[in-house]
């Protein structure tokens, strides 16, 4: 991305389930590590957008993914940024919703959507952010409540709200 006038962002949605996910971890030899797990299907949903030039991450917690919540996230993204944004998206139905056509038309000079090929999440750099977030925040950890998990995730995302080298390096091959 040699042209500094291009603002390239990628967007995606993610669910974080409250039940514990167990992954590799350090443990004392001969002792089986134990992690409590909530017997629930509760989950948190987040929209996220990543600036590929600076590594800045914007997120917004939502209860469901649909055209209405996607509209709210896009309005938030446009409010928090300047200039023309090229937004890389997957082909989720709410990304192309008819109800959003007036919004896209009204913001056509500021927001340009670039759709990924179908079924290709590996091409979206923000998927790496979700994987790192799970590794750093939710794996091998028990949350007493959904609010506790939301607080941990929000605090983690807040660290990446400003441009940062960690996420910029993560997207360096773009």
Q: What is the CATH number of the domain that holds 102?
A: 3.30.420.10
In a domain, 30, yes or no: no
The whole-number pLDDT of residue 29 equals 85
Are 46 and 60 in contact by the 8 Å Cβ rule? The answer is: yes
The pLDDT tens digits for 21-54 are: 767 767 778 877 777 767 777 889 999 999 998 9
Report the length, in residues, of the chain: 174
In a domain, 35, yes or no: no
What is the distance between the alpha carbons of residues 82 and 7, in angstroms, rounded to a whole number?
9
In a domain, 31, yes or no: no
Query: pLDDT: is 119 or 28 the higher one?
Result: 119
CB contact burial 61-98 (16+ within 10 A = b; e otherwise): ebeebebebbbebbeebeeebeeebebbbbeeebbebe
The pLDDT tens digits for 138-169 are: 988 888 999 999 999 999 999 999 888 888 88
For 20-51, the three-class secondary structure string (H helix, E strand, C coil) is: CECCCCCCCCCCCCCCCCCCCCCEEEEEEEEE
* Residue 165: domain span: 7-15+41-170
In a domain, 73, yes or no: yes
The pLDDT tens digits for 58-68 are: 999 999 999 99
Q: What pTM was computed for the model?
A: 0.87
- Is the per-residue pLDDT at 17 higher than 80? yes
Residues 6+ away with beta carbon under 8 Å from 100: 67, 70, 71, 74, 94
Domains identified in the chain, total number? 1
- pLDDT classification of 6: cutoffs 50, 70, 90: confident
Q: Which helix (H) or strand (E) holds 144?
A: none
In a domain, 23, yes or no: no
């Amino acid at each position: 991305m040699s042209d500094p006038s291009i603002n390239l962002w990628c967007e995606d949605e993610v669910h974080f389930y409250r039940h514990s996910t167990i992954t590799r971890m350090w443990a004392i030899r001969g002792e089986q590590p134990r992690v409590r797990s909530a017997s629930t299907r509760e989950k948190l949903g987040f929209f996220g957008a990543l600036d590929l030039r600076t590594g800045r991450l914007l997120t917004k917690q939502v209860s469901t993914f649909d055209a209405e919540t996607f509209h709210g996230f896009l309005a938030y993204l446009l409010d928090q940024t300047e200039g023309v944004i090229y937004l890389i998206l997957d082909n989720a139905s709410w990304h192309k919703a008819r109800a959003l056509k007036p919004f896209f038309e009204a913001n056509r000079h500021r927001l340009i959507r670039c759709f990924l090929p179908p079924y290709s999440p590996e091409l979206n750099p923000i998927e790496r952010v979700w994987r790192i977030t799970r590794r750093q925040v939710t794996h091998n950890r028990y949350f007493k409540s959904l609010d506790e998990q939301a607080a941990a995730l929000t605090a983690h995302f807040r660290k990446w709200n400003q441009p940062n080298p960690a996420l910029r390096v993560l997207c360096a091959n773009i």
